[in-house]
């Protein structure tokens, strides 16, 4: 049994004991070292990853060969290349550990089987996708409606845990500015 994911699921939907076992049977525990790849461009995303321990980033490399981080994941968050999963096409992004990680992989095949055997899990994943969509919309709004300093302040208030766990250059990439600008902001004690 995986208590972390079961506790997370129970925040949104109710499971019967036999359903808890079915959920756990569909998951595969995977351990990764720091800086290991879960996914690279050109490969098909294997499924959704639930993070038990650690920090993960999703990014692409732009035409100027700069890394552009599009998502982070911490404990009790899901991460995947949804485009690759949904469209069964090669990924265009990387998913890489920032720290040593333990994740639970729910393969796409097992997700489909799980929805048939435990229908309430479809509601759970719909809620997770809605929450991810809202988060993406907010991030886009922050990028368009806030200046760099406001984005930094807002992010540091919403996610103080990231400030200590994520290297400065990654945080700058995610927030849409240079590491040098972030250094100046931190020096000002923003």
What CATH number did the domain enclosing 87 receive? 2.60.120.10
Quote the longest CA-to-CA distance of the chain. 55
Q: Is residue 126 part of a domain?
A: no
What is the spatial distance between Cα 16 and Cα 22, in angstroms, rounded to a whole number?
Answer: 10
User: Which residue stretches of 27-178 are H helix?
Assistant: 82-87, 108-117, 120-145, 148-158, 160-165, 168-175
Q: Is residue 26 part of a domain?
A: yes
| Three-state secondary structure call for residue 62 | coil
Number of domains in the chain: 1
| Three-state secondary structure call for residue 131 | helix
Q: Is residue 142 part of a domain?
A: no
Per-residue confidence (pLDDT) for residue 189, from 0 to 100 = 59
Q: Is residue 159 part of a domain?
A: no
What is the spatial distance between Cα 118 and Cα 98, in angstroms, rounded to a whole number?
Answer: 33
Q: Is residue 42 part of a domain?
A: yes
Q: Is residue 19 part of a domain?
A: yes
Q: Is residue 51 part of a domain?
A: yes
Per-residue confidence (pLDDT) for residue 30, from 0 to 100 = 98
Q: Is residue 134 part of a domain?
A: no
Instruction: Fill in the DSSP letter of residue 101.
Output: E
> 67 is in which domain, residue-wise?
3-113
Per-residue confidence (pLDDT) for residue 187, from 0 to 100 = 81
What are the average pLDDT values for consecutive 10-residue runs of the chain, which has 190 residues?
95 97 97 98 97 97 90 95 95 97 97 97 97 91 89 87 86 89 77
Model pTM score: 0.91
């Amino acid at each position: 049994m995986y208590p972390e994911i079961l506790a997370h699921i129970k925040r949104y939907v109710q499971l019967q004991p036999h359903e808890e076992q079915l959920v756990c049977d569909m998951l595969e525990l995977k351990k990764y070292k720091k800086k290991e790849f879960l996914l690279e461009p050109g490969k098909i995303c294997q499924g959704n990853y639930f993070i038990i321990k650690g920090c993960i980033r999703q990014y692409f490399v732009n035409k100027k060969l700069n890394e552009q981080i599009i998502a982070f994941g911490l404990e009790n968050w899901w991460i995947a290349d949804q485009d690759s999963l949904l469209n069964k096409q090669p990924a265009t992004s990387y998913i890489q550990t920032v720290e040593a990680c333990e994740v639970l992989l729910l393969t796409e095949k097992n997700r489909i089987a799980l929805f048939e055997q435990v229908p309430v899990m479809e509601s759970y994943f719909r809620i997770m996708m809605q929450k991810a969509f809202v988060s993406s919309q907010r991030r886009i709004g922050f990028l368009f409606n806030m200046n760099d300093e406001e984005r930094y302040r807002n992010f540091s208030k919403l996610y103080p845990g990231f400030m200590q766990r994520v290297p400065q250059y990654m945080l700058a990439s995610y927030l849409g500015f240079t590491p040098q600008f972030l250094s100046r902001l931190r020096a000002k004690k923003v």
